[in-house]
Amino acid sequence: MPSLSLIESFETYPRLLAYLKTEYGSQLNIESVTGGRNHQGYRITNGIASCFVKLFYRDGLNLRFQRERAFYTMAKAKKVQHVPDFLSFDEQESWLCLSYIDGKPITQATSQAVESAIEFIVQLNHSLTSEDVEALPLAADACLNEAEHIHLAEKRINRLLAEPTLPDAVRRFVKDTLAVRLSLLKSELGEISPSSKGWGFLNTRIASPSDFGFHNALYNTEENCWVFYDFEHAGKDSLGKFLCDFLNQPQIPVPLEYVESSITRLCKGFRLPSPDLSLVKCLLALHRIKWSCILLNEYLTESIGHRLYSLKKSETDIGELQLNNYHKSKAYFEQYRPT
């Protein structure tokens, strides 16, 4: 039997309950699925069939819901492989219902896993026309030209420094380490000509999951394939921004030894000339600053509600969460600090 607390939480979603009862009957088992930073997830079963329900934190704009719904709508229309089936949604209550994927989490970015992830992006975009890509909303933190990569890192730093309650130690790290590194990278990028070989590759517009990595992937042993999910940041973006997010993702990092092979496969898949590797490495370093800031999001007033909602915790728990992520952010940055 499902727990009473879960039933009570679903009773605030009457349209969802009505849909589930219609499709799966009234005898439902509801199991909480952990993992999301901005949503709550549940596996729903009736003993025969199952599905996955994703509840979004309702913050007025509902951008995460809108982006993910748009991505799955497009994927369903274009018969995109290696993603969950899109079953239903409700804009008023901000939920999606997807097929449940019973697979093994990926704990290490092996060469086979990296190759499969790149292949997914290539095949996803091969199934779309340029009009399909343009019809998507902008991906979260989209960078469609050279200047936007720098602006994104600056924006992330400034948001943190504008927080009046930001602890002194965190403020020093952001101001004296991240901001200083950003200043150096801006100088390096300034020395690279805007017409440098590589910007054509990096500025190519694609359909991107944005927050793409093996933290949002499962290996389906029955069908012997990878399945990718969680597209709440997805939309149209540049190939360069996708590459930086994929290679820099902090939860399950892609080893640096796969940088060049990933670029080579993307060049072949999108029929583009190879970029200047020094330019790519400079952008990768720039986006590591961004990711260091993202790991500190728990200090942002606007982000606290999302985290507490997804974790089902109270405000008394936020201090420990903030401190843990401060240490994660420092460790992540130090991992790539130039010697």
| Domain positions in the chain | 4-99, 104-336
Q: Could you tell me the sign of the dihedral formed by the alpha carbons of 61, 65, 68, 69, in that order?
A: negative
CATH code given to domain 4-99: 3.30.200.20
Per-residue pLDDT tens for 88-108?
Answer: 999 999 999 999 998 999 889
CA–CA separation, 203 and 200 (whole Å) = 5
**Bridge-based pairing state of the strands 29-33 and 39-45:** antiparallel
pLDDT of residue 3: 46
CATH architecture classification, 104-336: Alpha-Beta Complex (3.90)
- Tokens coding 226: 């990878």
pLDDT of residue 317: 72
pLDDT of residue 285: 95
Phi and psi at 265, nearest 5°, equal -70, -40
- Centre a 10 Å sphere on the Cβ of residue 320 and count the other Cβ atoms it contains: 11
pLDDT of residue 304: 72
Whether the pTM exceeds 0.85: the reply is yes
**Bridge-based pairing state of the strands 95-99 and 104-105:** unpaired
- Tokens coding 301: 């007033």
pLDDT of residue 221: 84
CA–CA separation, 222 and 195 (whole Å) = 48
The CA-based angle 192-198-202, given to 5 degrees, is 110
Residue-by-residue pLDDT tens, the chain, 339 positions:
444 445 666 878 999 999 998 999 888 888 888 766 778 899 999 989 999 999 998 877 789 999 999 999 999 999 999 999 999 999 999 999 999 998 999 889 999 999 999 999 999 999 999 999 999 999 999 999 989 999 999 999 999 999 999 999 999 999 999 999 999 999 988 877 666 666 888 999 999 999 899 999 999 888 888 999 999 999 999 999 999 999 999 999 899 999 999 999 999 999 999 888 889 999 999 999 999 999 999 899 877 766 666 566 656 677 888 899 999 999 999 987 664
Of 13, 60, 26, whose CA–CA distance to 305 is shortest? 60
